[in-house]
Amino acid sequence: MLYCERCNRLTESERCPGCESSIHLRAPQADDPVLLCTVRYILATMIEPLLEEEKIPHSKVVLGSSALLGGGSLLENYSFYTPYDAYMGAVEMLTGIFAEDDEVRLALREAAGLKET
């Protein structure tokens, strides 16, 4: 498993799934922030309390500018990051809870650079 310092993603390949570069890849360290998933507002409001309840350290980044344009947070996407040492626990928890939710399952796979099967 390699970590891209530019995109904060993990990969098993020789290239980052985000930037498609290999020069930013290295072995991950315990405190590296890793992209967990990017989801719509409604899913973010479900995921964040679950991470907090399980005491999984995380950060949430707002993507887009609809709030500045008067669109409000409902139109925003949110990226969640966890430290590398908490990443697998977060993936397992969300995969279990959202096993029937195609959107969350796809978001987790896309963040890891995996294709939908």
Amino acid 72: pLDDT: 59
pTM above 0.85, yes or no: yes
When pLDDT is cut at 50, 70 and 90, the band that residue 75 belongs to is: confident
| CATH code given to domain 30-111 | 3.30.70
Q: Report the C-alpha gap between 11 and 62 in whole angstroms.
A: 23
Kindly indicate the confidence band of residue 89, based on its pLDDT and cuts at 50, 70 and 90.
very high
Looking at residue 114, its pLDDT comes to 77
pLDDT for position 73: 66
Is the model's pLDDT at 86 over the cut of 80?
yes
User: Which residue, among 16, 17, 49, 45, has the nearest Cα to 115 in the 3D structure?
Assistant: 17
Hey, where are the domains in the chain? Answer: 30-111
Q: Which of 28-37, 52-61, 72-81 has the lowest mean pLDDT?
A: 72-81
